[in-house]
Structures are given as C-alpha cells and as structure tokens.
Structure 1
C-alpha cells in the first residue's frame, strides 16, 4: 500500500524502494550503517503489540510534553499523509526536514536497497538524529522481531496486548505471534506488558529470560485501582483519561511505568492533566457530538469497542458505518457489532485489500442494513439525542473518510 505523499520525496531525490512487505532486518541494518547508525542516538521506548500501541504512545507523548520534555514519535499507518507518521514534540515533520533526510539517504546510496516502510523508518531516525531529544517513542509497523523498527541497540520495550492478527506474516497461533512481538526485547533491558493471555505471557517471559530482561507486568507489578496508579513508592490519584474504554486505563498505566523506568520524574498534578488531555485520532475519537471514529480492525479491538459501547452508551441507538479489509475476520467482527447495533451502513473504500461492501451486507444478520458505494456520499445525521454513529472496521477506511468528509 502506497504511503500518501511519500512517492513525492522518492521521485524528487531519485530514490527507489519497493512497496511490498519484506520482514527482516539485514537490509535496513546495512542502510543505517551507511548513515552512522542514527537509531542509537537517543533513549527509545519501543512499543509492539496487537492493539493499544497507538494509544500507549499517545499517553507517552502527552505525558512527556506536559512535563516539558522534548520527544519524537514514529507511528503507523498515516492518518492524513506521511508527515503525520513522524512527529517532533507533537508537530508533524516538515517538508524541509524530510528533504534533509532524503538528501542524506541519496548521498549514502540507499536507492533500491529498501522497502517503503524500511525507507520511512530510516527517515524517522535521520530526522530524530538532527535534534536534541529527551526521548523517542517508536511503534512497530507489524510484529516486532523482524520489523524494520527493531534496530536499536537498546530500548525499553512495551507490549500492551497480543492477539491474532497478520497471520500470513506472523503465524497462526498466539505462541508464534507472541514470539514475534517479544522480539523487541533487548538484552539486559526492561519490558513492560499489559494483561496478556497465559499462552502469550509464557512466550514473552521465556524470551525475556533469554534476554536477561526485567519484566514489569500490569496488575502484578503496577496497578490501577479506582483511578489511582501505584508502582512501588509511586502513587498518582484521580486519573481520568478522556480516551474511552477500560482498556485505556491499562495503556495509560503502561505509559506511566515506561516513563518512570526511563528515569523521568513525574509529578502527580501534571500526570492528572496529561492523561485527561491525551487523545488519538481514530480511537473512539469524538468528531461530532454524536459521531465517533474507531479503527477497530481485529477480534481484540472489536471486543474492546463493543465493551466500551456497552459501558459508555448503554441506552443509545448505535449506528455503524463500516469498511473492512478482506484479510480480517469480518464474520467475527460482524457478529460482535450486531450485539449492540441499531443499524449498519457498509461502504466501499479505496484500498487494494478492501472488502466489497456487498459481501459485508450479505453476511450481516441485522435487519437494518444498507450499502454506500461512494464514500464521498456519506453524511452524519442522527435522528435523536439517543443516537450514536460509530465509524469502524479499518484505520485505512477511517483515514480515507476523514480526508473526504471531515473538514
């Protein structure tokens, strides 16, 4: 899948890269070596996992910002275009900064060596290298062990959750997927994990043991009880994140713990303010009084979405606008959403892996359902105060809808 506006820089600087996904680190390590290994210049918190990566980095970023720290973030996929994937202190990378990174890559002779995502990962490290930063927050693209972001000599690792996803690349069992995610653990380092299933936890602990890593686990080493965070002698009370859902309390706790382990002196009043302020596009994002965008795209994230709806909107009519990729378990997603749905609208969107809306319509068991073939024809209009519209199924779908509908 093409990264929006990335080809503009490739063409301008005459640098070629492949659009395919090629798990493995040999090529990017060689490329980074030609550039002096910029990935090792900063303290890094590296986040892998099936769900919760983006939310955890949103908490990390806001906590860092409100404590006056300078920081960089590299996340995926893009929300609008390539510039929002690399940020400095919450601001998108500029064209000038992108150009400078591409100039360095051109001089180093990287054309033809990398895939698009590998090339973008190198850009991120080059952008960060040129600036004095207290911390860098990196999100894996897919998996962890063989992901192009997994090139730092040292980092603190964070894994919010592990469930079945990307089976064609990571394997079809929790154990195989967990092995990939746990691959971000560095020797003699620290790993911070959410509440994992026993099967995932066993694999992660085994890899941690092999790496001689210290593992800190949610609800074992650090806790959230009645909106109070505790970890050793650290206690922060009255924490109320604006991001909806009980799972966000776990992501918040992971972020706080990661910063403490990074040596950041946190202040309770600032933590309280930061977690109320932290937000993330496409994760129960309120775009209107009664309209939310949520990029739930696999079993675990759909489960979390439905749980959040039951918890936050127990007496509301829920109208879903849905676009899903064809390699997802859309039958499971439909069955879960049907538990809380008042109606469905299935949408065709522009992605090479998009599932036709007609297939979703055919397999949906709800009586109130329709198809929208043209995404630009979607409008948000609820009939009553008791109506809530939720756009979901894929971050790619939400991204396209945002660019065409949301002003």
Structure 2
C-alpha cells in the first residue's frame, strides 16, 4: 500500500523498501539496532485494538497539550499524506525533519531491509529521538504482536476494543485476533482496556498473567458516569467530549488512565478542556451542520456509526456516500447502513484494494442508489440541503474524497 508522498524521500535518499505487508519483528529490530534503538529513548503509550485507536490518541494528545507536556504521535493511515502520520506537539513533521531522519538512516545503511510501513515506523522513531519529549503516543498499524510498532522495551499498553477485522492477517476468530492485540503488552508493565467480550478478555488476561503485568479495565477499575471520571483518588467531573458517539466516553477514560499510569499528574480543569478540544479527522467528523465524514470500515465501527446516527439524527433523511476496500465485509456494511440510509452513492477511488462501486450497487437492497466514478463529480451542496450526508468506508477513500472535493 503506497504511503502518499513517502516515495520522494526514499528516492531522494536512495533508501529502498517493499510495498508489501510482512508481519514480524526481526527485520525492523535489526534496522533499529543499526540506529542505536531510538524507540527506547522516551516514555511510550502504545495503542492497539480494532476500533478506537485514533480517538484514544486524539484524547491523549489533547490531554498532553493541556497539561503542558511535550509529546509526539505516530498514527496511520494518513489523512492527507505521510507528514500527518508523524506529529510533534500536534504539528505535522516537516520536510526538513524527514530529510534529517532519512540522511541518518541512509548513513546507517538500512536501505533494502524493510517494508514501507516498517521504514515509516523507523522514521518516526528517528524523528522523535532528536527531540526532548515527555511522552510518545504510538498507534499499532495492524494487530499488535507482530506489528512493526511493537518494538519498544517498555510502554503502557492500551486496547480500546477487539472485533473482527484484517482476518487474512490476524485470523478469523476473536480469540486469534485478541492474541495479536494482547501482544503489545510488555513484561511487568500496565495494560488499560475498554469493554471487551468474554472471549477477548480470556486471551488478554492470560497474556497479562504470562507477562506478570497489571490490567485496568473500563467499568471495573476506572469509570465514566454522568460525565464524571473516577479512578483511585482521581475524580474529574463535567467531562463533555465533542467527538460524537457513546464510545468516546470510554476512549477518553482510557486516555486519562493511561496518562496517569505513565506517571503524570492531571488536574480537573485541564482534563475538562482536553475533553472538549479533542478532535479526530475522519471519525464522525462534522464538516458542517449537514455533512459528516466517518471511516467506518469494519463490523464494530459500522455498528457504532449506525447507532450514533439513529441517536443523533432520528427522522432525518440520511444520504450515504460509500467507498470500501475489497477485503472488507461489504455485505455486512451494506446491510447495516441500509437500516439508516435514505439514499446511497457508491464511489470508485484510486487504490489497488478498492472495491468496484458497481459491486456495492449490485448488492445494495435500497432502490435509491447510484454509482459515481469519481468523488470530484459529487454535488455535496445539493445533497446537504435535504437531510444529512455521511461519507464513509475506507480511510483511503475519505482521504481521496477530501483531496478531490476540498473538504
């Protein structure tokens, strides 16, 4: 999968990498060793899970900012291009910082060793190493145990949710997927988890036992009730996240707990401001009163989107603009969206894994449906005058949609 605007650095500094996905850590660990292990310089909060990773990191960065901490984050996929995946104090990495990192990697001879995502992960750690930071937030790319981000000696681990996704790499059961997610836990460390199913918790708790770690569970060890967070001696009231959806209460609580477990003192006023200010592009993101974007691309995230729409927009006409990847369960996605949609517009987008919009059209049971060959042809103003328009599906589709429509 091509990472937008990443190739120009590879070409400029003559560092080759493969575009394939190769789960496993031996190669990236060898590359990091050549670079004197930059991943171990800072405190790290490592977030894995099926859904909620991005939202949890959005809360983490907002909390860090309001408490005056210096922080950095590595997330995926990109919203615009590679530069927004590596951020320092919520500011995109600059071309100068990328060049300096690539020069260092070139001099240490890591060309040809890595896949694209492994190289990007190493780049992030090299960029961060050059800075004095209080905390670094890392989002797992896929799975956890064998994901290229899982290379730190120490971290506080966070798992917001576990459901079925990426079955071709992670397995087709909750147990198999949970094994991958739980693998981010380090020996004698802390794990903070959201509300997981019994089958997922069984696997996660075994990992905790094996690694002599401690686990903190939402609605068991820490709580959110009536906009109030409580954990040990901490109590923060009047927390009102602006990110839409009930699940954001849980994601916010996970972020607060993870920062406390990382050794930071939090105060109520700063936590309140952070809750209000936390934003995340492409997650039920409000563009205007009639237009939202949400990267719902698997069963759990589609369920959350449908629940949110039913709660927030009862009796409103809902226009769905959809583009998905072919390896997703698009039949499930269609059946769920049919519960809320008045009309469908299926769109082709430029990605090797993109599902042809005509296939979505064929399998959709709603009669009010059309196919559009390119996002630039969509008349959003016309749609927005009559109901709520939601652009959803793959984050790659949403990124292209933004680029072609200017949103």
Instruction: Tell me the TM-score range normalised by the shorter chain.
Output: over 0.9
What's the TM-score once normalised by structure 1's chain length?
Answer: 0.99
Residue number in structure 2 paired with 1:401:
401
Residue number in structure 2 paired with 1:171:
171
Provide, for residues 233-275 of structure 1, a one-character-per-residue CA deviation record: whole Å limited to 9, x for no partner: 1111111100000001100000000011111111111111111
**Deviation at residue 287 of structure 1 after TM alignment:** 1.2
Structure 1 contact 163–174 (Cα < 8 Å) conserved: yes
Residue number in structure 2 paired with 1:391:
391
Relative to structure 1, is the Cα distance of residues 339 and 189 closer, same or farther in structure 2, using a 3 angstrom cutoff?
Answer: same
Residue number in structure 2 paired with 1:373:
373
Please, which moves more after superposition, 369-378 or 245-254? 369-378
Alpha-carbon distance in structure 1 between the residues aligned to 2:399 and 2:383: 25
Relative to structure 1, is the Cα distance of residues 384 and 141 closer, same or farther in structure 2, using a 3 angstrom cutoff?
Answer: closer
Residue number in structure 1 paired with 2:107:
107
**CA root-mean-square deviation:** 0.9
User: What's the secondary structure of 1:341's corresponding residue?
Assistant: coil
Residue number in structure 2 paired with 1:241:
241
Map 1:71-220 onto structure 2 (within 5 A).
71-220=71-220
Alpha-carbon distance in structure 2 between the residues aligned to 1:374 and 1:299: 26
Provide, for residues 63-82 of structure 1, a one-character-per-residue CA deviation record: whole Å limited to 9, x for no partner: 10011100000000011000
**Deviation at residue 232 of structure 1 after TM alignment:** 1.3
**Deviation at residue 406 of structure 1 after TM alignment:** 2.0
**Deviation at residue 382 of structure 1 after TM alignment:** 4.8
Structure 1 contact 382–389 (Cα < 8 Å) conserved: no
Relative to structure 1, is the Cα distance of residues 43 and 162 closer, same or farther in structure 2, using a 3 angstrom cutoff?
Answer: same
Alpha-carbon distance in structure 2 between the residues aligned to 1:83 and 1:135: 19
- Kindly tell me the number of residue pairs found equivalent between the two proteins: 407
Structure 1 contact 382–388 (Cα < 8 Å) conserved: no
Map 1:261-272 onto structure 2 (within 5 A).
261-272=261-272
Provide, for residues 287-313 of structure 1, a one-character-per-residue CA deviation record: whole Å limited to 9, x for no partner: 122100000000000000001011111
Alpha-carbon distance in structure 2 between the residues aligned to 1:378 and 1:97: 37
User: What's the secondary structure of 1:68's corresponding residue?
Assistant: coil
Map 1:56-75 onto structure 2 (within 5 A).
56-75=56-75
Alpha-carbon distance in structure 2 between the residues aligned to 1:384 and 1:335: 23
Alpha-carbon distance in structure 2 between the residues aligned to 1:384 and 1:291: 7
Map 1:342-357 onto structure 2 (within 5 A).
342-357=342-357
Residue number in structure 2 paired with 1:18:
18
Please, which moves more after superposition, 375-384 or 248-257? 375-384
Unaligned runs of 5+ in 2: none
**Deviation at residue 385 of structure 1 after TM alignment:** 6.2
What's the TM-score once normalised by structure 2's chain length?
Answer: 0.99
**Deviation at residue 384 of structure 1 after TM alignment:** 7.0
Alpha-carbon distance in structure 1 between the residues aligned to 2:142 and 2:383: 40
Alpha-carbon distance in structure 2 between the residues aligned to 1:405 and 1:19: 28
User: What's the secondary structure of 2:183's corresponding residue?
Assistant: helix
User: What's the secondary structure of 1:389's corresponding residue?
Assistant: strand
Structure 1 contact 70–134 (Cα < 8 Å) conserved: yes
Alpha-carbon distance in structure 2 between the residues aligned to 1:351 and 1:145: 27
Residue number in structure 1 paired with 2:364:
364
Alpha-carbon distance in structure 2 between the residues aligned to 1:242 and 1:382: 27
Alpha-carbon distance in structure 2 between the residues aligned to 1:50 and 1:200: 12
**Deviation at residue 383 of structure 1 after TM alignment:** 5.8
Alpha-carbon distance in structure 1 between the residues aligned to 2:383 and 2:114: 51
Provide, for residues 337-357 of structure 1, a one-character-per-residue CA deviation record: whole Å limited to 9, x for no partner: 110111100001111011111
**Deviation at residue 104 of structure 1 after TM alignment:** 0.7
